[in-house]
Amino acid sequence: MPITESESLSPTLTLAFELLRRASVTPDDEGCQPLMIERLEALGFHIERLPFGDVQNFWAIRGHHGPVIAFAGHTDVVPSGPHINWQHPPFEPCIDDEGMLCGRGAADMKGSLASMLTAVERFVTRYPQHDGRIAFLITSDEEGPAVDGTRAVVEHLRERNERLDYCIVGEPSSTERLGDVIKNGRRGSLGGVLHVEGIQGHVAYPHLARNPIHQAMPALTALINEHWDAGNDFFPATSFQISNLRAGTGATNVIPGDVEVVFNFRFSTEVTHEELKTRTHAILDQHALEYQVDWTLNGEPFLTAEGELVDAAIKGVEAVTGLRPTLSTSGGTSDGRFIATLGAQVVELGPLNDTIHKVNERVRASDLDDLSRIYEATLQALLTPGEANV
């Protein structure tokens, strides 16, 4: 029978149950952050609540000198969709007969939040006078617009010259086994909406109209076939993808008067977003279009080369799982892109990502206890380097 009560579970799984019961769909927090804050205050953390707009955020820090290592994450989750499609209700967590913790947010990323907090509780109990400072940067707006969440908190920290040396983001980075992949960077994301103007008319009289779809197609083909760069040792080549194309009145006999094309670049450190804009406009200009492009820079690429944080995270994974993690910059964006602008070394390290955003999201329950131990071992490697691993 599935386990639906948390009383007999480990501290990490008990906390995960408490977080998963809260239907904190972006930007609602539903009490997740107060739950975390109460436990951090008990450890002597100084708490700063930082609400921006409808988004709840907090910054918590413990210690008074030395390097700052922050744990970053989000309490918000994506919508579950119809509950009838789930094997178990999405906001009634359980551990099924296969040992999987089931519920929306189990992998992305309330399981990581629980692992972070219990890791810090054990570390602070063991080292109450630890060197360095430990911090938490938590938001309820990672899955949404990501404007009033981590981005806003980072700007707040920047304005007062807050130091941040290392950051572990709890995004689900693992692919086949816990800890097999550590994300030490991410590609940049540049979005664009292309508007091409034509002249509306009857399809039987095309000489009296100007079809913007026909005009745009050669330019779009050129953009699709363009070799933007070759990538490098850390990043794959820059990609250009069209995600939406809208035109027409819905009638079959009307040439549209305009077309809207939504596209996105995922780009490496071999090219800047300004270069991508310039080259895109040059291609569009070659095709003599009447157009405009509305650009949105979602994030610059960032990379944390092998060094103190990467080495500590690798040691933590090896100590707990025996695996040697692979470093990767693949996948989408994360809030790490904002944190990296403070000059911090940033890695993403979390559970398996195979069910994130899906119906029946789940993660192996024992992995969260192991993840908590990995976080603790990473803390220990950074702040007490002379001690043996946990």
Please state the residue numbers annotated as binding site for Zn(2+): 74, 108, 143, 171, 357
Decide: 378 and 389 in contact? Cβ < 8 Å: no
Catalytic residue check, 260:
no
Give residues with Cβ within 8 angstroms of 152, minimum separation 6.
50, 52, 55, 57
Decide: 178 and 351 in contact? Cβ < 8 Å: yes
Binding residues: 74, 108, 143, 171, 357
Enter the DSSP assignment of 280.
H
Q: Identify which of 331, 330, 379 has the alpha carbon closest to the alpha carbon of residue 116.
A: 379
Catalytic residue check, 76:
yes
Q: Look-up: residue for tokens 């909406």?
A: 193
Give residues with Cβ within 8 angstroms of 3, minimum separation 6.
9, 94, 95
Decide: 133 and 67 in contact? Cβ < 8 Å: yes
- Tell me which amino acid residue 180 is: D
Specify which residues 297 forms β-bridges with. Answer: 190
Decide: 226 and 305 in contact? Cβ < 8 Å: no
Residue 10: half-sphere exposure toward Cβ, Cα within 13 Å: 21
Residue 126: half-sphere exposure toward Cβ, Cα within 13 Å: 16
Decide: 170 and 113 in contact? Cβ < 8 Å: yes
Alpha-carbon dihedral of residues 32, 36, 39, 45, nearest 10 degrees? -150
Question: d(Cα 209, Cα 204) in Å, to the nearest integer?
Answer: 10
Sheet holding 258-267, edge to edge: 239-247, 258-267, 188-197, 291-299
Question: d(Cα 34, Cα 37) in Å, to the nearest integer?
Answer: 5
Of residues 29, 30, 141, 142, which has the active-site annotation? 142
Bridging pattern class, strands 166-169 and 68-74: parallel
Of residues 29, 30, 76, 348, which has the active-site annotation? 76
Bridging pattern class, strands 185-186 and 362-364: unpaired
Supply the residues annotated as catalytic.
Answer: 76, 142
